[in-house]
Chain A
Amino acid sequence: MSIAKASSRPRPKRPQVNSSSFDTALGWQPGRTATTLLRAAVCAIILFVFAGPILTIIAGAFDLNPDPTRLTLIPRNPSLENFAVATQRGIWGFFWNSLLIAGFGLLLQIIVAVTAGYALARRKFRGQAIVLGIFLATMMLPEEVVAVPLAVVLGDLPLVGISLRGTIFAVILPVAASAFSILVMAAFMRDIPDEIVEAATIDGASEMRILIEIILPMCKPALGVVAIFGFIGIWDQYLLPIIAANRTSDYMITVALASLRADVQVGTGVLLAGAFLALIPSLIVYLLLQNSLVRGITSGAIKG
């Protein structure tokens, strides 16, 4: 039984008055003042610890001269000057590069994950275990250790003989296949009841149509997980855009952040303004997809 699904199962009504205390492991009892106060305190602490540091980035970004030694949640000298300086340093160009790379990279990653996940989950073939092993092996391989040989490949694609360096493909293609995404998709597709697919097959639908019209809509939570982690994974790339670039204008925003830190001409505020910009897209993606994220992680994770 999938434990995650238990949450959606309607619970039997309990006769006891204090039944709500059995809804949570700690036995919180909503409605009681003591509980409410305690929970409020707990929530405040958790918010402070986990969201506070992120908020200080935002405060610093809008502060004319943030103190590098101290953090505030509210800018002391509110100003957009930091963003003006960051704009002068061409931060929007790097931001755009990042968006373009993350967007196209993610699109490709999803296509690759869906097709490969489908093959792994819905088909039986000779060498399946080997293919799975190959996918797993790629997850063991830290990106940093293959950086230099990868740079050689990017500069002269074996057999094809073209150079990807300085093109958007040099960053997109290496991140387009992700074993994590493939495995998430496979885990979801495996659980789709055969009867549904069977019915479509009898209808005479082609394999591709079944994948797109029947299977894919049932994997929405998995697509959410893949989209969020895929996006953040690509957005976070640092080494790859460096070795793949031909010109400074090819860099992604992560690299631009490092050069802002190294730039003696700008202060902490400009750096935080850059960090703020780097934060926004992943935040948006997360907020948009978070419901499927929770369902995706959990139904993928707590099974078997």
Chain B
Amino acid sequence: MTDQAGEAMTPLVKNAASRPPAASLRRRVRPQSRWWTVWLFLLPALLLFLYFKFIPMFAGIQMSFQKVRPFLGNEWVGWSNYAAVLNDSRFHDAIVHTLILGFGQSIGAVIGGLVLALLLEGASKTLWFVRTAAFLPVVTATAVIGEVWRIIYFPAPNGFLNSAIGSLGLDPVRWLEDPAVALYSVMAVGIWQGAPYNMVIFLAGLAGVDRSLYEASAIDGAKLRHRLWYVTLPALRPAMTIVLVLAAVRSLRVFTDVWVLTGGGPAGATDVWMTRIYSLGFERNQMGIASAASILLLIASIALTALALLITRKRAEK
């Protein structure tokens, strides 16, 4: 699942969750069929999820209470893996990095998407072409993006970005190498990839803004920024809230972006929760502790998603 897809699901989640007994709104037509046929339709999905998501997940929960040694017998260690995670200062750092990166990336991608949408709104062929091209980062494989951005961020003075800022008279920056900068460099790539996706959503929102409101505001003598502030933004707000909140939840799981760019380095400056889990599990063979950290991440994601759904649902009821 791509990150963008995660974002896209968000409104649907709301949709589906806020009116699960959809049928109660209107009368659902049921063609001649028995009650169990619905389970036939659900069977492939449920079976695949059971085998490839839930059985591994329950095995993961089990492992989180064990010292995992497949050839010597796993040893039950109770909560000590969880204690090891919660007491590990590197995990504390990773949580901070995860939050900074997640919120920065989500907010940046929303603002970036909005700006792109405003700039590229319009019906001409040229604009259509530019919009299509701007969407390229969304459909490019993460591994490929990692390669090109490592080149863009090349830390020498003659590196691509450095020569660009050099022509503005700025000193070269070690984008991915300087522990003080690396996290923000990673964030920028995330925004670069996320903004075009949000652009599409906002473009649709803009298309839906009632044109007569623009006219009315013009007659009232409102300036452009007033018009944006009082007419355009309120119209986009429903889309924005949900995209923002749930993108933040999703960003708890940020992994591939970081992994392909820095691997969590330098000096742990870009270590996020998932990179921590990965390196504990696969590099240090601490499967038990890695599992405990995974379960904590899962619980945090579910709790935050539930909270976000609750909030948006309340708003919808108002």
Direct A–B contact in complex, judged by CB atoms less than 8 Å apart: yes
Q: Which residues of A contact B (CB under 8 A)?
A: 3-4, 6-7, 11, 14, 16, 19, 21-28, 30, 39, 42-43, 46-47, 49-51, 53-54, 56-57, 68-71, 111-113, 115-116, 118-125, 128-129, 131-132, 134-150, 152-153, 157-158, 173-174, 176-180, 182-184, 186-187, 190, 194, 197-198, 200-201, 205-207, 210, 225, 228-229, 232-233, 235-236, 238, 254, 257-258, 261, 268, 271-272, 275, 278-279, 282-283, 285-287, 290, 293-294, 297-304
Collect the chain B residues with CB atoms within 8 Å of residue A123's CB.
23, 28, 30, 38, 41
Going nearest first, the 10 A-B pairs with the smallest beta carbon separation are A298-B204, A3-B208, A145-B294, A149-B59, A177-B48, A124-B23, A7-B207, A149-B56, A119-B41, A146-B56
Collect the chain B residues with CB atoms within 8 Å of residue A177's CB.
44-45, 48-49, 52-53
A50 touches B134 (CB 8 A): yes
A25 touches B28 (CB 8 A): no
With A25-B121, A145-B60 given, is the CB distance from A294 to B29 under 8 Å? no
Collect the chain A residues with CB atoms within 8 Å of residue B291's CB.
145
With A118-B41, A153-B55, A236-B143 given, is the CB distance from A70 to B29 under 8 Å? no
Instruction: Report Cα–Cα, A118/B30, bound state, in Å.
Output: 12
B127 touches A25 (CB 8 A): no
Chain B residues bordering chain A, tally (CB within 8 A): 124
Instruction: Report Cα–Cα, A56/B57, bound state, in Å.
Output: 41
With A51-B133, A115-B41, A286-B135 given, is the CB distance from A42 to B144 under 8 Å? no
30 A-B residue pairs with Cβ-Cβ distance under 8 Å, sorted by A, are A16-B215, A21-B218, A26-B119, A27-B224, A47-B130, A50-B135, A50-B137, A51-B134, A70-B154, A71-B148, A71-B151, A112-B44, A112-B45, A116-B45, A123-B30, A128-B21, A136-B13, A144-B277, A145-B294, A180-B9, A197-B29, A206-B31, A257-B147, A271-B147, A275-B144, A278-B143, A279-B144, A282-B140, A300-B8, A304-B11
A186 touches B16 (CB 8 A): yes
Output the least CB separation between B157 and chain A (Å).
10
The answer, yes or no, to whether B22 is at the interface (CB within 8 Å) is yes
With A42-B119, A47-B130, A301-B204 given, is the CB distance from A178 to B305 under 8 Å? no
The answer, yes or no, to whether B149 is at the interface (CB within 8 Å) is yes
Query: Which of B1, B42, B298 interacts with A145 by CB under 8 Å?
Result: B298
B209 touches A25 (CB 8 A): yes
Collect the chain B residues with CB atoms within 8 Å of residue A200's CB.
31
B160 touches A112 (CB 8 A): no
With A24-B121, A146-B60, A183-B16 given, is the CB distance from A300 to B11 under 8 Å? yes
B48 touches A173 (CB 8 A): yes
In the complex, residue of chain A having the shortest beta-carbon distance to the beta carbon of B132: A290
A50 touches B136 (CB 8 A): yes
Please classify the interface of chain A as helix (H, G, I), strand (E, B), loop, or mixed, using the class held by over half of its residues.
helix
Collect the chain B residues with CB atoms within 8 Å of residue A150's CB.
52, 56
Query: Which of B151, B214, B277 interacts with A68 by CB under 8 Å?
Result: B151
B52 touches A290 (CB 8 A): no
Output the least CB separation between B58 and chain A (Å).
8
With A194-B27, A304-B18 given, is the CB distance from A139 to B6 under 8 Å? yes
B31 touches A201 (CB 8 A): yes
The answer, yes or no, to whether B74 is at the interface (CB within 8 Å) is no
Instruction: Report Cα–Cα, A152/B62, bound state, in Å.
Output: 14
Output the least CB separation between A106 and chain B (Å).
13
Output the least CB separation between A120 and chain B (Å).
7
B37 touches A207 (CB 8 A): yes
Instruction: Report Cα–Cα, A149/B163, bound state, in Å.
Output: 47
A153 touches B56 (CB 8 A): yes
The answer, yes or no, to whether B268 is at the interface (CB within 8 Å) is no
With A187-B15, A282-B140 given, is the CB distance from A210 to B31 under 8 Å? yes
B16 touches A142 (CB 8 A): no
The answer, yes or no, to whether B46 is at the interface (CB within 8 Å) is yes
Instruction: Report Cα–Cα, A242/B209, bound state, in Å.
Output: 48
Instruction: Report Cα–Cα, A100/B26, bound state, in Å.
Output: 43
Instruction: Report Cα–Cα, A272/B144, bound state, in Å.
Output: 8
In the complex, residue of chain A having the shortest beta-carbon distance to the beta carbon of B287: A148
B126 touches A43 (CB 8 A): yes
In the complex, residue of chain B having the shortest beta-carbon distance to the beta carbon of A129: B20
Instruction: Report Cα–Cα, A283/B253, bound state, in Å.
Output: 26
Output the least CB separation between B162 and chain A (Å).
10
Instruction: Report Cα–Cα, A3/B231, bound state, in Å.
Output: 15
Instruction: Report Cα–Cα, A257/B206, bound state, in Å.
Output: 40
A183 touches B151 (CB 8 A): no
Collect the chain A residues with CB atoms within 8 Å of residue B127's CB.
39, 43
